[in-house]
């Protein structure tokens, strides 16, 4: 009885701060500082945003478990006038920043990686989708698994390759896999008469696992990461 009371107290002590963070989180960083939402495209090519999961930034890939020199790729991006940024702590925080077209800083300590409404921002309502919609684009969401839609947010895209009805309720979404290559090719074939935006996520290179229970060891994990 005493143990159960102590356990409940411990869990409550962890829960209350998380609930407080969720209710006090500020979304002011999403406010656009210019007139970008009214942008009108002069040309309307198909646009493909390809996102390899777990691709770490240029500073981090040189150290830790990775120890890989990726300077050639960075030089290519710099030469072609791409702008590169450091990673956020999680997939959700990275994508909310990208689709909100605004860098944001964590309002709470570093362990606070996910916040209320992150998937709704990415999947339903964000400046990127607003701009494409106002310019007459057909928007397509091609996912490798159900992680980004596991809570079934309202779909702001015209098409998603995952049927919410097929996603198990007791799931984090990572185990629900798709054939996103075939789904992408089929979508391209069907939508030839439209101006299209495609957000395509890939499961590789993934992450180097450091937990003993899920890791194949530093050397094998690194080799597999670089191979992917």
* Three-state secondary structure readout of 27-64: CHHHCCCCCHHHCCCCCCCCEEEEEECCCCCCCHHHCC
pLDDT of 104 over the 80 cut: no
Reply yes or no on whether the pLDDT at 102 is more than 90.
Answer: no
Of 183, 169, 109, nearest in space to 140 by CA: 183
Is the pLDDT at 215 greater than 70? The verdict is no
Average of per-residue pLDDT values in the chain: 83
Distances (CA, A) of 163 to 39, 155, 184: 32, 11, 15
The better pLDDT of the pair 119, 226 is held by 119
Q: Give the angle 176-182-188 at the CA atoms, nearest 5°.
A: 125
Number of domains in the chain: 1
What is the extent of the structural domain holding 158?
2-227
Task: Specify the pLDDT at position 106.
Answer: 62
The mean-pLDDT minimum among 4-13, 20-29, 47-56, 192-201 falls in 4-13
pLDDT of residue 196: 97
**In this predicted model, what pLDDT tens digit does every residue of 162-178 receive, in sequence order?**
999 888 887 887 778 88
**Taking the CB of residue 41, how many other CB atoms lie within 10 A of it?**
14
């Amino acid at each position: 009885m005493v143990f159960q009371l102590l356990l409940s107290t411990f869990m409550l002590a962890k829960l209350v701060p998380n609930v407080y963070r969720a209710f006090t989180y500020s979304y002011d960083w999403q406010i656009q500082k210019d007139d970008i939402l009214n942008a009108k495209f002069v040309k309307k090519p198909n646009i493909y945003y390809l996102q390899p999961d777990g691709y770490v930034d240029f500073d981090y890939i040189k150290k830790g478990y990775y120890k890989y020199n990726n300077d050639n790729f960075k030089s290519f991006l710099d030469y072609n006038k791409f702008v590169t940024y450091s990673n956020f702590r999680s997939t959700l925080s990275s994508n909310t920043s990208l689709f909100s077209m605004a860098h944001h800083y964590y309002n709470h300590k570093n362990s606070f990686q996910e916040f209320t409404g992150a998937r709704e921002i990415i999947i339903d309502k964000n400046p990127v989708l607003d701009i494409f919609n106002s310019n007459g684009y057909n928007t397509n969401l091609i996912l490798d698994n159900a992680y980004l839609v596991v809570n079934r947010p309202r779909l702001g895209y015209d098409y998603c390759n995952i049927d919410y009805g097929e996603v198990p309720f007791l799931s984090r979404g990572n185990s629900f896999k798709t054939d996103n290559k075939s789904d992408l090719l089929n979508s391209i074939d069907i939508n030839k008469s439209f101006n299209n935006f495609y957000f395509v996520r890939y499961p590789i290179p993934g992450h180097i696992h450091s937990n003993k229970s899920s890791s194949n060891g530093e050397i094998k994990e690194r080799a597999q990461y670089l191979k992917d």
